[in-house]
C-alpha cells in the first residue's frame, strides 16, 4: 500500500471514510471524493498530510474528471480507483416513482460508470491500475424487497464490472477490475436511504465498517475478480441460483417480508 494513490468516492463516511483512514495508516495516499464538504474535510484531516479531499458530485462526469485531474496534479498518477458512492432506498417495486428509480441509477450505477471510464483513460497509457466497484450482497440475492431499485442498480453494476474485466483481459492484463459485495454494514446507510428505513447499525450481524475496509485493502494488495465480505455469503448465492425453484428459497429466512420492521420518516 505504501505510496499508492487510491481514489475513493463516497469517502465522507461509512466504508469510504474507513478505507481512506486505513490507506493512510498503511502509507498510501488517499484521494477522497464526496458531496458533503464538512464531513469530507473531517475525514481528510484524520488521514494525515498526504490525503487530498475533492468535493464532487460523482453523478456528474465533469466532477469525476475533476477528481482525477486533482489527484494527478497532486500525486502525478493514480494507482487504484474505488467506486464506493451509493445510496439505498425503501420502496417496493410497485411503489417506485420514476424520480426515485432515476436517483438509484444515478448514484449507484451511473457514478460508477463515469468512474470506470475516467480511471480507465488514465490507466490504459500506463498499462496498469485497479478499478474496484463496491456492490452489495443484495445485487446477488434480493433478500429485501423494499431495497428494490438499489438491488437492481447494483445487479447492473456487477454486469458492467464483469464486462469491463473481459474487455481488458487480453490487451491490458495488469488493469484489474474487481467487485466487493458487502452484506449489512454498521453505517448510516439505512437511515440515509431514500424513504428512510431501519438503522443499519442496529441490525443483527451488521459488520463493522473497519472489517470491510480491511477486506478492500487486502483486495488492493492481492487483486481478484470478486470478494464477499462475510463468511457464508458466497454459498448463499450458490444455493439461491442452484435452486430448482427460487420461489421456494424466497419463502424462508433470511428473505424478509414486504415491509421494513421499523420504517423511518427521514
- Counting residues of the chain whose pLDDT is more than 70, the rounded percentage is 97
Q: Judge whether residue 133 has pLDDT over 80.
A: yes
- String of b and e for 83-114 (b: at least 16 CB within 10 Å)? bbbbbbbbbeeeeeeeebbebbbbbbbbbbbb
Residue 261 counted as domain residue: no
- Statement: residue 2 has pLDDT above 70: yes
Work out the burial of residue 245: count CB atoms within 10 Å of its CB; fewer than 13 is exposed, 13-18 middle, 19 or more buried. Answer: exposed
Q: What is the pLDDT of residue 198?
A: 78
pLDDT score for 259: 67
Q: In the predicted model, what is the mean pLDDT of residues 213-221?
A: 98
Residue 260 has a pLDDT of 64
- Cα separation, 263 vs 253, in Å, equals 20
Are the C-beta atoms of residues 101 and 204 closer than 8 Å to each other? no
Q: What whole-number distance in Å separates Cα of residue 174 and Cα of residue 148?
A: 35
Average pLDDT of the residues in 136-147: 95
Q: Give the per-residue pLDDT at 190.
A: 86
Whether 202 is covered by a domain: the verdict is yes
Query: Residue 77 has what pLDDT?
Result: 98
Q: Is 223 left (phi over 0), alpha (psi -120 to 50) or beta?
A: beta
The three-class DSSP label of residue 114 is helix
pLDDT value at residue 261? 52
Find the helix or strand (DSSP H, E) in which 146 lies: none
54 in any annotated domain: yes
> What domain range includes position 163?
5-250
Instruction: Reply yes or no on whether the pLDDT at 187 is more than 90.
Output: no
Is 260 inside a domain boundary?
A: no
Q: Rounded distance, CA 55 to CA 72, Å?
A: 16
Reported as a pLDDT band with limits 50, 70 and 90, residue 154 is very high
Task: Give the pLDDT score at 80.
Answer: 98
Return mean pLDDT, the chain.
Answer: 94
User: What is the tally of structural domains in the chain?
Assistant: 1
pLDDT-derived band at 191 (thresholds 50, 70, 90) equals confident
End-to-end CA distance of the chain: 39
Query: Does a structural domain hold residue 258?
Result: no
Residue 150 annotated among the catalytic residues of the structure: yes
Between CA 72 and CA 76 the distance in angstroms is 4
Mean per-residue pLDDT for 83-97? 96
Q: pLDDT, tens digit, for every residue of 230-266?
A: 999 999 999 999 999 999 999 999 998 776 654 433 2
Q: Give a yes or no: residue 257 inside a domain.
A: no
Structure-block grid coordinates of residue 53: 479531499
Torsion of CA 17, 21, 24, 29, to 10 degrees: 0
Q: How confident is the model at residue 46 (pLDDT cuts 50, 70, 90)?
A: very high
**Average pLDDT of 182-189?**
91
Distance, CA of 256 to CA of 252 (rounded, Å): 8
Read off the DSSP letter of residue 243: -
Residue 120 contacts residue 7 (beta carbons within 8 Å) = no
Q: Which residue has the cell 463515469?
A: 114
Helix (H, G, I), strand (E, B) or coil at 214: helix
- Domain membership flag for residue 259: no
Q: Higher model confidence: residue 104 or residue 191?
A: 104
Residue 59 lies in a domain: yes
What's residue 90's pLDDT? 94
Residue among 143, 150, 228, 240 flagged as catalytic: 150
Tell me which H or E stretch contains 108: none
Give percent above pLDDT 90 in the chain.
Answer: 87
Q: What is the DSSP letter of 255?
A: S
Contacts of residue 244, Cβ cutoff 8 Å, sequence gap at least 6:
none
pLDDT tens digit sequence for 105-128: 999 999 999 999 999 999 999 999
Read off φ and ψ for residue 57, nearest 5 degrees: -105, 105
Domain containing residue 157: CATH number: 3.40.50.720
Q: Say yes or no to pLDDT of 204 above 60.
A: yes
Specify the pLDDT at position 265: 31
- Given CA atoms 36, 38, 41, 45 in this order, what sign does their dihedral have? negative
Alpha helices by DSSP H, listed for the chain, are: 14-25, 37-46, 61-75, 98-105, 111-126, 148-168, 209-221, 233-242, 246-250
Amino acid at each position: 500500500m505504501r505510496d499508492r494513490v487510491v481514489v475513493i468516492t463516497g469517502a465522507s463516511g461509512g466504508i469510504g471514510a474507513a478505507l481512506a483512514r486505513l490507506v493512510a495508516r498503511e502509507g498510501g495516499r488517499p484521494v477522497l471524493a464526496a458531496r458533503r464538504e464538512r464531513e469530507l474535510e473531517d475525514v481528510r484531516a484524520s488521514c494525515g498530510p498526504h490525503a487530498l479531499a475533492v468535493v464532487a458530485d460523482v453523478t456528474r462526469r465533469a466532477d469525476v474528471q475533476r477528481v482525477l485531474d486533482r489527484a494527478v496534479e497532486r500525486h502525478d498518477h493514480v494507482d487504484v480507483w474505488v467506486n464506493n458512492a451509493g445510496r439505498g432506498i425503501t420502496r417496493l417495486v410497485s411503489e417506485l416513482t420514476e424520480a426515485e428509480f432515476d436517483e438509484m441509477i444515478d448514484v449507484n450505477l451511473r457514478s460508477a460508470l463515469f468512474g470506470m471510464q475516467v480511471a480507465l483513460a488514465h490507466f490504459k497509457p500506463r498499462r496498469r491500475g485497479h478499478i474496484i466497484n463496491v456492490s452489495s450482497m443484495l445485487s446477488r440475492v434480493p433478500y429485501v424487497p423494499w431495497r428494490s431499485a438499489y438491488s437492481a442498480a447494483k445487479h447492473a453494476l456487477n454486469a458492467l464490472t464483469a464486462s469491463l474485466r473481459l474487455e481488458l483481459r487480453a490487451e491490458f492484463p495488469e488493469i484489474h477490475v474487481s467487485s466487493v459485495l458487502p452484506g449489512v454494514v454498521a453505517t448510516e446507510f439505512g437511515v440515509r436511504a431514500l424513504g428512510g428505513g431501519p438503522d443499519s447499525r442496529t441490525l443483527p450481524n451488521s459488520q463493522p465498517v473497519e472489517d470491510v475496509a480491511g477486506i478492500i485493502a487486502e483486495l488492493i494488495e492481492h487483486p481478484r475478480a470478486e470478494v464477499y465480505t462475510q463468511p457464508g455469503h458466497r454459498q448463499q448465492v450458490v444455493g439461491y441460483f442452484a435452486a430448482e425453484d427460487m420461489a421456494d428459497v424466497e419463502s424462508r429466512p433470511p428473505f424478509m417480508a414486504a415491509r421494513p420492521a421499523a420504517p423511518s420518516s427521514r
